Structure 1
């Protein structure tokens, strides 16, 4: 949602022209974190001198449950962790372990979960992340990035989400939050490197008039000192820089990936580096400056 995530039906129309290399819910970031938590629990059990079978018996679990938790196959609940630490003689470690487990749970979050309290709240949730980030790198293969959207374009995108999913209709309030967030484009200390696929410019959202206004606004936004806009032309040679799911990089600390059904947070340094390389490869086949403006103008002309 932070970068302007479209609804499932809209996404399906946008991604139809190409084959995407998409992240999956079983991202290695999430799985590695689950495995690390499982290994920590295993060490606690072994330090207590208790076998997995004995711990399961004490907890009243099936004897395979300890093994599933320790190998990251079954995420432990808050209650599981409390029971585990209690029988291993370290109940004081439960709060920290529970916080770790909840953090892992937050790495992969379905859109329905983030939007169940309304779109406005989902928009507001990313404010702290924006405030502490200085360097933004945004790749969008679905829609114009949220920070560069017009009010009418954002309204059309969010109305589509409301129509396709059972979420509260607070579109006007959510649009206001997103428009307010664009102040980061004009405040010192923030830079935005933005890449979009050309088909994003040619996918009509909200009707020709709304789309024309959006494309004109994109030209203006690209002239801001804080913004670098690149457009990857249709037909560009894809020796590198394959199209992928949309993602936003926040400094070197975090990557948010927009999946069709969910939002994925990547925090593993090795994976963040991979996204950095992917962004560099995509940027290398993009056009910037006058060439990018020419593609945007062509898309406006195509609206008739």
Structure 2
């Protein structure tokens, strides 16, 4: 089978093949012995190891069983199932405008019961006012040169955020203090946004923590990410959006979130940080 036309998909295939090859080597068996234990041809083992043939879930289970590495099956199957859209360029995602991008996560938001959100750059989408969202999405549309459907995108974001009104869902946010002070909009709009943030903190199903500038850190500020239940992570960079579903990946981000949350101010201390940011607008 020729390389996949998508370089990101081919790279993921090669990474998985490399992991399977290392598992075989760690078990101290040859490709021929592996094939005998799995009940298939030696050429099939070679094709899988060299990323010429993507393995089926059953192949991964047989491979790991033959190498006494059954504990690695869940991670490897999750890696194998991650779609071609696991790492997608923003240019492709936003090709038809920002509104459709907001709407594309609607089902995921409805299905999720626990959201954990860490941000180091902007107010989380869940907590944005229409004014703040308009300023932010306008700057994104201008920077990326996407179709100008900002007003529709803002309306879609506000509709999507209605999931917060369902008390059965839990939301935990950790913000860097810098997020409160970055000027992405007018002072008036930012004041309204910070006031809204104070109001959201009163909701029973919402927890907001703010990591102060002065906090002695156990982990460094990192790129924004969202954890959906314990099954999925969305991690964004400047050029792409990554969807991570491997258990080890989700666990890594959950551990990072916990460390960041430990250093976050809450309650009156968090409100004081927001009040300070509001005062600085003068």
TM class by shorter chain equals: 0.7 to 0.9
- Cα distance in 2 for partners of 1:272, 1:228 equals 21
Aligned to 1:229: 208
Q: Which has the higher contact order (CA 8 A, sep 6+)?
A: 1
Q: Cα–Cα, structure 1 residues 75 and 219, in superposed 2: closer, same or farther, change >3 Å?
A: farther
Shift, 1:144, TM fit? 0.3
1:223-247 CA deviation, whole Å, 9 max, x = no partner? 1111100000012111x12111100
Residue 190 of structure 2 is aligned with which of 204, 211, 230?
A: 211
Aligned to 1:136: 115
Aligned to 1:244: 222
- Cα distance in 2 for partners of 1:301, 1:155 equals 23
> Are 1:303 and 2:278 an aligned pair?
no
Residue 122 of structure 1 is aligned with which of 90, 98, 101?
A: 101
Aligned to 2:62: none
CA contact (8 A) 2:16 2:80 kept: no
- Cα distance in 1 for partners of 2:43, 2:267 equals 65
CA contact (8 A) 2:102 2:160 kept: no
Shift, 1:104, TM fit? 3.6
User: CA-atom RMSD, angstroms?
Assistant: 3.0
Aligned to 1:97: none
> Are 1:107 and 2:86 an aligned pair?
yes
Aligned to 1:289: 267
Q: How many residues align?
A: 236
Aligned to 1:93: none
- Give the TM-score normalised by structure 2: 0.76
Q: Aligned to 2:138, what secondary structure does the other structure show?
A: helix
Shift, 1:33, TM fit? 5.6
1:93-134 CA deviation, whole Å, 9 max, x = no partner? xxxxxxx98844211111111100110010011111101100
1:36-77 CA deviation, whole Å, 9 max, x = no partner? 36869x97xx9456589xxxxxxxxxxxxx87x8445x898x
Residue 147 of structure 2 is aligned with which of 168, 174, 185?
A: 168
Aligned to 2:243: 265
- Give the TM-score normalised by structure 1: 0.70
Gaps of 5+ in 1: 1-25, 53-65, 77-99
Gaps of 5+ in 2: 1-6, 22-30, 55-78
Aligned to 1:156: 135
Q: Aligned to 1:276, what secondary structure does the other structure show?
A: helix
CA contact (8 A) 1:194 1:229 kept: yes
- Cα distance in 2 for partners of 1:170, 1:221 equals 27
Q: Aligned to 2:189, what secondary structure does the other structure show?
A: helix
Aligned to 2:254: 276
1:269-296 CA deviation, whole Å, 9 max, x = no partner? 1121111111111011000011101100
Aligned to 1:193: 172
Q: Aligned to 2:117, what secondary structure does the other structure show?
A: strand
- Cα distance in 2 for partners of 1:49, 1:36 equals 18
